[in-house]
Amino acid sequence: MSIQPPLEPHEGIVDPAENVENAIELKEVEGLSQGRIVLRRFVRHRGAMISAVVLTAVVLLVTTSIGWGPIPGWWQYGYKELNPIVNAGGAPTMGFDGGFTVGSHPFGQDNVGHDGFALVMRGTQQSLTVMVVIGLLSTTIGVVVGALAGFFRGRLDDLLMRFTDMIITIPVIMIGAILGVLVGGANPWSLAVALSLVSWTNMARLVRGQFLTLREREFVDAARVAGASSARIMFKHILPNAVGVIIVNATLLMASAILLETALSYLGFGISSPEVSLGQLINEYQTAFATRPWLFWWPGLFIVTIALCVNFIGDGLRDAFDPRQRRIPTRRALAKADARKARARAKATASA
């Protein structure tokens, strides 16, 4: 577990081309704070930016459409309402009918008249809740466990890491299913808390590795000499230096959390009826797949969209936080730059 500390210059022989490129990179970020540099790199990652926009749009749609808690909704149907069936078999009203129409039930209806759009919105709310709670809670647990183990080492480290090993030995979906049975399927919050209690292990290992390296650095000695307490050193001095690894892994953790929740709900051990989640919707309507495929399509598409966006954002963050990351120009861009240079040289020789 020896992860290179961030912003440590690369040792060994560096070839001149790399030096030049580094110089360009350095010139670009001169005078900027670490946060600015990261933000700038993230904004340049096209996939991550598109994903961020899409995810924001999804969250906005989900929160405002049927309302969430105090937020009022603008959609006319609730997810529990039984409405008269509009199209034959409850087929979606959205489509190209001489121009794009949305209609009253754009995602279709099920056999008793539930509005598909409202169901999917409600399911996405629940799945997003579980995802965010797992992301925040298990990151917190993982950071605390990893920080304690990496900072104090010795017996505490042994104890905590053996415990982490024990949890890792149990397959996530298995312990998730058992916990799902234990807390019951009525409440997404309790399910999320239960799942966080088992999904912090990777984070703890990574944070421990970071702390093991960082605690040997000079600034930690300086802080100690200045009389800082262990807690202050851990959370004020070391933790900010490990924040890149933590944020990236928290993002990837969230992506796997939404897949875990939907899988458990699909198996019937997560959120269950009458509460709604995306996995539970797929489970409930998979038998009606041949007759009402729209009930199956939309929840799945929302899962894929959310997981894909979160994964891409994680990838963008990883690139942004990685100090060794350089933007590699495409071959065409390189050729263009070369041509420009040649032209400039030709002009220079012509004018000389």
Binding residues for another protein (CB under 8 A): 47, 162-163, 165-167, 169-171, 173-175, 177-179, 181-182, 255, 259, 262-263, 266-269, 279, 282-283, 286, 289-290, 293, 296, 300, 303-304, 307-308, 311-312, 315, 328, 330-331
Q: Count CB neighbours of 42 within 10 A.
A: 18
Q: Count CB neighbours of 186 within 10 A.
A: 13
Distance in Å, CB of 201 to another protein, minimum: 12
Nearer to another protein, 127 or 241 (CB): 127
Nearest to 195 by CA among 145, 146, 259: 259
Distance in Å, CB of 256 to another protein, minimum: 9
Distance in Å, CB of 91 to another protein, minimum: 17
DSSP 272-332: -TTS--HHHHHHHHSTTTTT-THHHHHHHHHHHHHHHHHHHHHHHHHHHH-TT--PPPPHH
The Cα–Cα gap between 194 and 207 comes to 22
Nearer to another protein, 6 or 268 (CB): 268
Distance in Å, CB of 103 to another protein, minimum: 25
Element (H, E) at 38: helix 34-44
Residues β-bridged to residue 71: 68
Nearer to another protein, 58 or 223 (CB): 58
**Do residues 154 and 212 lie in contact, with contact meaning Cβ atoms separated by under 8 Å?**
no
Distance in Å, CB of 350 to another protein, minimum: 31
Distance in Å, CB of 86 to another protein, minimum: 25
The Cα–Cα gap between 18 and 193 comes to 47
Nearer to another protein, 225 or 290 (CB): 290
**How far, CA to CA in Å, does 44 sit from each of 15, 56, 309?**
26, 18, 16
Nearer to another protein, 275 or 315 (CB): 315
Nearer to another protein, 57 or 178 (CB): 178
